[in-house]
Chains A and B, each alone.
Chain A
Amino acid sequence: MAPSKTPSDPKALKRKVSSQILQLPGVSGIGVPKGRLTVYLESDSEDARERVREILKAVSPDSDVDFLVIGKFSKQDPD
């Protein structure tokens, strides 16, 4: 059974899945650099990639996603 709506536009897809994906462990962020849906990861985790793919598959089965290991974001404050 196909989902009723499958956003093909990466920006629309990002808006739809952003909150879900940002809840996943190991995910730092999500964006659309150069028109490509991209998930930013804290580390090179296959588990995190698979969880992201599962969410995208449920929303837009034909969607494609890039991953970029970029680290964990924090305020830039000297402690």
Chain B
Amino acid sequence: MVEAGTLGAIVKSGGAQYILSNNHVLANEDKLPVGTAIFQPALLDKGNQTTDQVANPVQDRPTLAPRKQQRRLRDSRDRQECHRRPNDPAEGRQARNNHTHRRHRWNEVHKVGRTTGYTTGSVLDISADVNIQYDIGTLTFQGQILIAPDQGQMFSDAGDSGSLIVDRGLGRATGLLFGGSPKSTIANHISDVLTALQIQLAG
């Protein structure tokens, strides 16, 4: 299966390092079994199967599986995927904090993604409940971050899932991008992600 997305961050837990992205990026909505090779660059982006493997899905990853009869989730924490990262320290170069001397408003954010690269935007909502279309159906997420692009650009597009969203003023990670529309972007609160997976951002 050939997928592509964005490696948002390197995280750590219990002395091991992992790569952080989304379930649909690294596990194709729970379809990929544990042990599947993860490549950077992705095979869709002309990665090399012989030389570019960087990780394998971990055993206890969170899933997208419906909790009840209907295919809906009510917890943002099930959106993330955390994979062991056995090698290649060069993979951590995502969403560096571009400090400038300009003063930023509290809601100004930026990210680096696989498709749209570096973009800036503004947080519209920090507690949005949203319907997201997946291959397995429509899933509902509560309490998510909604981001609008700055004028004249898109904040994100297909392939940017997994991007780490960083507050431009504070230089702190605030979200993990996982969905969007042509007019906006949806992200998990990074605090929810780190808490749910019991991990820390590395570095």
Residue ranges of A at the interface with B (Cβ–Cβ < 8 Å): 11, 14, 18-19, 22, 27-33, 38, 40, 69-79
28 A-B interface contacts by CB (under 8 A): A14-B127, A22-B140, A28-B131, A28-B181, A29-B129, A29-B131, A30-B129, A31-B128, A33-B128, A33-B146, A40-B130, A40-B184, A72-B181, A73-B130, A73-B133, A74-B179, A75-B22, A75-B161, A75-B178, A76-B5, A76-B115, A76-B156, A76-B159, A76-B160, A76-B179, A78-B44, A78-B158, A79-B158
B contact residues around A77 at 8 Å (CB): 3-5, 24-25, 158-159, 161
Q: Does B125 contact A (CB under 8 A)?
A: yes
Q: How far is the CB of B144 from chain A (nearest CB, A)?
A: 8
Interface centre among A22, A71, A74, A76 (most CB of B within 10 A): A76
Name the 9 nearest CB pairs between A and B, nearest first: A71-B181, A29-B130, A31-B128, A31-B125, A74-B133, A76-B161, A33-B125, A78-B159, A78-B158
From DSSP, what is the main secondary structure of chain B's interface residues? Answer: strand
Given contacts A18-B129, A40-B128, contact A71 B183 (CB under 8 A): yes
Could you count the A-B residue pairs with CB atoms below 8 Å apart for me: how many are there?
A: 101
Q: Which residues, 145 to 197 on B, are CB-close (under 8 Å) to A?
A: 146, 156-161, 177-186
* Complex Cα–Cα for A76 and B154 (A): 13
Q: Of B44, B115, B156, B184, which one neighbours A70 at CB under 8 angstroms?
A: B184
Q: A74-B180, A77-B24, A79-B158 are in contact. List 7 more A-B contacts (CB 8 A).
A: A18-B142, A22-B130, A74-B132, A74-B133, A76-B180, A77-B5, A78-B158
Interface centre among A71, A72, A77 (most CB of B within 10 A): A77
* Complex Cα–Cα for A76 and B5 (A): 8
Contact A73 B131 (CB under 8 A): yes
